[in-house]
Amino acid sequence: MTIYNAHGGYAKRGICLKNDISAFKTLICFKPLVKIINSTVQNNSGYSLETACSSCFHKFSNSQDSITCPNCCLTKYCGQDCLLKDCRATHKYECDILRSFLKKAPKEINIGEFIRLVIQLFVTCEQYPTYKREIFNLTSHKEEFIKGIHADFLYDNLDLVVNSVHECNPRRTKDELKSYINDLICICFVNANILMDEYGEAIGMGIDPYFSLINHSCIPNTTVVPFSSTSFQLVTNCAIQKAKEITINYCYTSNPKELRQLDLANRFFFTCKCGLCTAKVDYFFSYNCLRCNALICSLSFDNFFNEDSADTLVFKCLNKTCGNCRIPIDLDQVKKTNSLHKLILAYFIYSFFSRNTVMPELRTDSFDNFVKGLNGFVKEAGLLNIDSKSLVNYLSLIPNGSLEIQDAHFTYISLIFSNLLDFKIIPEYCFPLNQFLPVLASCIEHKTFDNKMKVDLILTRLKYEVKSTINADLAVDLTEQITSKFSQYASLTITFLDIYEQLAQVPDDEWVSNLWNEGKDEILTVLLKSTFFFSIQALEFFESKFPMQTHLMMQVIDYVEAILKSGFSTSRLKEWYSQKPADFTADTFHDELTKLFNFVGGYYSFKQKVIKYQFADRMRKHIFTPVANLNCLKKNRFR
C-alpha cells in the first residue's frame, strides 16, 4: 500500500495499492501505539478499566488476578510485568496527569474513554517526534469543529485537560498547551477508531496515523477484522486492482442515505458521493412488491408522519405496477404498511426522548389506547408535518443501538412489528425495523417465562435473532464478497447454542408450541446442525488468519460434539455424527437449514440445494460456501 496525492491536501489524499490483490486477503495488521480500554462495561464484551488489563487488554478471570496502579489508582494490570511494560511505554507520563484530572474534575464529569485517549496521545507525541509529525499531519477540521455540534464538549473539557497537563508539565505556558491539546482533541474526534473483541463488541479506542489516511465509502472494498484485543487487520472485500484506492466505512452504512450523509457531515465534515449515496433509490428506506420482492418505491422523511403521506409515495413505475413482475401494486396493503411503519418510527423517537425529557406515559390498558398515545405523541412533538431536514436532524440525535422497549410496551410493539412484517411489503432492513430486531430479541432473552408461553417465546427470540443477523445486518452488506457474513455467522453460533440450552431444559411434558410445527427433538436437531454448519462457514474464513475467531469457532464445534457425546441424539444426528467431516455434502445440512429459514421467513430461495438470499439492492446472492469446498473439513480436526 502507498499514499497517493500525499501533498494534495486532506480531501484528495488516500491509500492505494501497489499491486493487484484478490478477495479475502489481509493487507496489513494495525497495532495502534495509542490505545485505551473502555472506562466502564458498555456491552456484552465486559471490558473496562476494572475488568481488563490496561496494557495487554487481557480480561481478568476475577478481581484477585489484577493489580492496580498505586499512583493514579485508575488503571489495572495482569501483574507486575504488564504494569512495568505500560509504565515504560506511556503510563509513567500519563499517570500523574490522570490523577490530577481526577482531583480537579467536578463529580459530574467522569474521565471517559475520549479524555484518556487525548491524554495518552499527548504523552506519546511528546515521546516520539516522528509520531507527532504523523499525527499533526492528519485531518482535524479544527475550524468546523469549533463551530459545530461538538464545541460544547471542547469547551467543557479543554481547560480541565490543560490544567492537569500543566500541573505535571509546566515547561509550556497554559496558552501553548491549550492550542496544542485543542488540536489533539479535534484530531482524535475525526481519526480515532474503535477496538473490538472476537465478537465484534467495542472494547476500547485507538488511533493509528496510517489507518486514518484510508478514506470512506458506504460500499467499502476492505473491512476491519479484529486480530487481537490490541490489533486489527484490514481485509479485502473483493479483488482490487493496482493503483485503486482502498476504502473503509466510517458510519452505520445500514442507515438511510439522509441519516448517513448527516452523520458524516457532523463528524467528518464531508459529503459522501459513493455509489450507494448517488443511487436514485434508498435501498434501506423502501418498500417491496408483495409478489416478487422487487423494490417498488423509495421513501422520504419529508412529511413522513402526515396522515396522507401514503398517497404521496413516489413509485418506481409511474403506472403503479411492479417494474419487475408487472403486477399492479396493492395500494391498500401499502397504506396499511405505511400506517404501521409510522407507529414504529414514532416509538423509536418516543423511546429516546422519553428518557431525556418529560413526556406523558403511553397507556397500556389496551392496544387501541397504546396506538392513540403514539399518535398523540406525534402531534405533540410537532412531527405531523415536519420537513425532511428537520426530521433527519431529530433522528440524528438518537445514537445507533440506543433503542429501549419498556416492559409494559413490549407486547404491543411486538404486535405492531409482527403485523408489519406479515404484510410482506417492508423488508426487515428498512429503517427503523433494523433497530428493533436485536432489541426485541434481547427483551425476550431477559424475560421471565410463563410455562405455557416458554417455548414459543424462546422460538420467537430465535426468529428475531436470525432476522436481525441475516435479514437485517447481512442484507445491507452490498460489498462484492460480503466479508461481514463470517462475523455474522460466528455470532449466530453463540445464539443458537444459548437457545438450544434453554429449549433442552424444557421438560417433555411441558413442551407446547403453536409457533413451529416441529417436535422438540427435531427443533433441537435443527439447532445443533445449524450451529455446526455456521461454525464451519466462519471457520473456513478465519482459520490461519484470525486466531481469536478461529479459537472461538473451535470452542463452539467442541461444545456441539460434547452435547452429542453426552447422550442427546436422534437417528439423523447419529447418521450425521457417524460420517467423516471430509465426506459432508450439500445434503448433509440441507433439510435442517431449509426448516430453519422457512421458520424464520425472509427473502430466501432454495434451488438445487443451494440457498440464495435477496440483499437490500434486491439482487439474489449465494450466502454460503459449498460444503464440498470447505477446506477446514478436510483437515481431520474434528472428533
The neighbour count for residue 608, using CB atoms within 10 Å, is 5
Q: Helices H, strands E: what count in the chain?
A: 20, 17
Q: Give pLDDT, residue 142.
A: 79
Mean pLDDT on 533-539: 96
Q: Are 20 and 239 in contact (CB under 8 A)?
A: yes
The last residue of one of the domains, among 150, 177, 194, is 194
User: How do residues 114-135 score in pLDDT, each as one tens digit?
Assistant: 999 999 999 999 999 999 999 9
Cell of 526: 435443527
Q: How far apart are CA 98 and CA 287, in angstroms?
A: 52
User: Does residue 302 belong to any structural domain of this protein?
Assistant: no
Break the chain down into helix, strand, coil percent, rounded to 5.
50, 10, 40
Quick one: CA dihedral 562, 567, 568, 571, positive or negative? positive
pLDDT of residue 451: 72
What's the confidence (pLDDT) of residue 10? 67
CA-wise closest residue to 531 among 500, 493, 502: 493
Q: Which of 106-115, 196-205, 346-355 has the lowest mean pLDDT?
A: 106-115
Q: Residue holding cell 456484552?
A: 44
d(CA 506, CA 397): 43
pLDDT of residue 12: 76
Which cell is 531 given?
Answer: 450451529
Angle at Cα 327 formed by Cα 326 and Cα 332, nearest 5°?
Answer: 140
Average pLDDT, the chain: 91
CB neighbour list of residue 520: distance below 8 Å, 6 or more residues apart: 503, 506, 508, 511
Tell me how far CA of residue 14 lies from CA of 7, 41, 243, 479, in angstroms: 11, 35, 11, 20
Strand-pair category, 604-607 with 193-196: unpaired
> Are 559 and 497 within 8 A, CB to CB?
yes
Whole-number Å distance between alpha carbons of 53 and 628: 42
Q: What is the pTM of this model?
A: 0.90
* Residue 193 β-bridge partners: 206
Q: How many domains does the chain have?
A: 2
Q: Which residues, in sequence order, are CB contacts of 70 under 8 Å at separation 6+?
A: none
* Grid cell of 324 as nine digits: 419487475
Task: Indicate whether 24 pLDDT > 70.
Answer: yes
Q: Is residue 335 part of a domain?
A: no
* Strands 202-207 and 26-30, sheet pairing: unpaired
- Separation CA 236–CA 593 (nearest Å): 28
Question: Which of 159, 194, 229 lies at the terminal end of a domain, its last residue?
Answer: 194
* Phi, psi angle pair for 348, to nearest 5°: -55, -45
Asked if the structure places residue 582 within a domain, the reply is: yes
Say yes or no to pLDDT of 154 above 70: no
Does residue 432 have a cis bond before it (omega within 30 degrees)? Answer: yes
Q: Pick from 254, 275, 278, 250: which is nearest to 264 by CA?
A: 250
Reported confidence tier of residue 232, pLDDT bands at 50, 70, 90: very high
Element holding 67 (H helix, E strand):
strand 67-68
Torsion from C-alpha of 434, 590, 481, 484, nearest 10 degrees: 40
Using alpha carbons, list the distances in angstroms from residue 256 to 218, 261, 295, 296, 433: 11, 9, 15, 16, 12
Between the alpha carbon of residue 423 and those of residues 204, 322, 416, 427, the distances in Å are 41, 16, 11, 10
The answer to whether residue 232 is domain-embedded is no
Asked if the structure places residue 330 within a domain, the reply is no
Query: Which of 415, 421, 446 has its CA nearest to residue 433?
Result: 421
Tell whether 134 is covered by a domain. Answer: yes
Q: Where are the beta strands (DSSP E) in 485-540?
A: none
Asked whether residue 476 is assigned to any structural domain, the reply reads: yes
Q: How confident is the model at residue 453 (pLDDT cuts 50, 70, 90)?
A: confident
Confidence bin at 492 (pLDDT 50/70/90): very high
**Domain stops at, among 194, 210, 229:** 194
Contact, 267 vs 189, CB < 8 A?
A: yes
320 pLDDT higher than 70: yes
**Which amino acid type is present at position 260?**
R
Specify if 244 maps to a domain.
no
Is the four-CA dihedral 152, 154, 155, 160 of positive or negative sign? positive
Q: How many C-beta atoms surround the C-beta of residue 43 within 10 A?
A: 14
The domain of 510 spans: 454-639
Write the pLDDT tens digit of every residue in 65-112: 789 999 999 999 999 999 999 999 999 999 999 999 999 888 766 788
- Residue 151: predicted pLDDT: 63
Say which residues have a Cβ less than 8 Å from residue 582's Cβ, sequence separation at least 6: 633, 634, 636
When pLDDT is averaged across residues 164-187 and rounded to a whole number, the result is: 91
Q: What is the pLDDT of residue 638?
A: 65
